[in-house]
Amino acid sequence: MSALLEVRDLQVRFDTPDGDVEAVRGIDFDLSPGESLAVVGESGSGKTQAFLAIMGLLAENGSANGQARFHGEDLMAMSSRDLNRHRGHDIAMIFQDPMSALNPYLSIEKQMIDGPMHHLGLGRAEARAHAVEMLRAVRIPDPDERIGHYPHQFSGGMRQRITIAMGLLCEPEILIADEPTTALDVTVQARIARLVGDVARRSHMATVLITHDLGAVAGVCDRILVMYAGQVVETGTVREIFDSPRHPYTRGLLDSIPRLDRIDDTLHAIPGNPPNLSDLPGGCVFRERCDRAFDACAEPPPLFDLGEGRASRCHLEDPS
């Protein structure tokens, strides 16, 4: 199957008073219709900025390079008018913080009907009915009345579900969700995951789940992209990554997930901090924190292709 979204050598940099910050340093990946991809990394790994760049939503001091072909059209090269035909229509994004992603001065109704009216050509009443249905689907009680309310009148969990409903309104081909369920309790998380899964299956929607929590990915996604300091350090299917992580960083992440099937109850945090992106050290960026670093790590490792869609950016994989 041909890729829905092909990202090639995506780079994002920010011009800050303390110099240039390279937030994303050349990432590549493909996304197929119906596929569910998890992008995992610590905060500051560039995972959010990469997708904001694809959506054309970087902050003003940010700039992006590279390609992101959606159905073969490069989103990065598009005018904002052309980009607007896709944004919210066939590519939707759900933002991290539901408190600030909803406009506090407008009713939920106003914020939900604009998109469908614009993209799908629905009338006001139709758009409202559609929005009410979507709110019902994310389990907002009494949606017909509550759609007229303002964001501050909902609880944090409900606001999160409203943003998810908003993302699904136009039945996009790609749904990018940035830490969508962190504010929700576990049962609701599962329900939302199921809802998104249903929509995905029905309309063959691809999903991207951006998260810092590798544990949240299992059972939800097909494939994982592990990011560190603005680069992809490992890719593979969920099963492969969980069963046989290849990169020391991925292994560290897995060790730091609390698990029920382990005897010892200590959590293993990765020592140290991620590097300063405005002043990167030479060589492998993970070297300082890596327990298996050796001489070769003074050189930056390439992403070694391990076959069958797996790859790892570590000198341990060097076949030579």
Select the residue interacting with other proteins from 106, 124, 262, 305 (CB under 8 A): 106
Question: What single string gives the DSSP state of each residue in the chain?
Answer: ---SEEEEEEEEEEEETTEEEEEEEEEEEEE-TT-EEEEE--TTSSHHHHHHHHTT---TTEEEEEEEEETTEEGGGS-HHHHHHHBTTTEEEE-S-HHHHS-TTS-HHHHHHHHHHHHT---HHHHHHHHHHHHHHTT-SSHHHHTTS-GGGS-HHHHHHHHHHHHHTT--SEEEEESTTTTS-HHHHHHHHHHHHHHHHHHT-EEEEEES-GGGTTTT-SEEEEEETTEEEEEEEHHHHHHS--SHHHHHHHHTS--TT-S-----PPSS-PPPTTSPPSS-TTGGG-TT--GGGGSPPP-EEEETTEEE--GGG---
Select the residue interacting with other proteins from 6, 30, 114, 126 (CB under 8 A): 114
Cβ of residue 21: shortest distance to other proteins, in angstroms? Answer: 4
Considering beta carbons, is residue 108 or 224 the nearer one to other proteins? 108
The 285-314 contact track toward other proteins, x by CB under 8 A, reads ------------------------------
Cβ of residue 23: shortest distance to other proteins, in angstroms? Answer: 4
Residue 170: name the closest of 131, 202, 142 by CA: 131
Cβ of residue 278: shortest distance to other proteins, in angstroms? Answer: 5
- What's the CA gap between 317 and 146, in Å, rounded? 55
Q: Does 119 bind other proteins (CB under 8 A)?
A: yes
Considering beta carbons, is residue 229 or 241 the nearer one to other proteins? 229
Q: Does 180 bind other proteins (CB under 8 A)?
A: no
Site for other proteins in 61-100 (CB under 8 A): 61-62, 80-81, 83-89, 92-93, 95, 97, 100
The 216-245 contact track toward other proteins, x by CB under 8 A, reads --------------x---------------
Select the residue interacting with other proteins from 23, 168, 206, 238 (CB under 8 A): 23
Select the residue interacting with other proteins from 27, 54, 75, 102 (CB under 8 A): 102
Site for other proteins in 196-215 (CB under 8 A): none
Residues found near other proteins in the complex (CB under 8 A): 14, 16-18, 21, 23, 43-44, 46, 48-49, 52, 55, 57, 59-62, 80-81, 83-89, 92-93, 95, 97, 100-107, 110-111, 114-115, 118-119, 149-150, 152-153, 163, 166, 230, 273-278
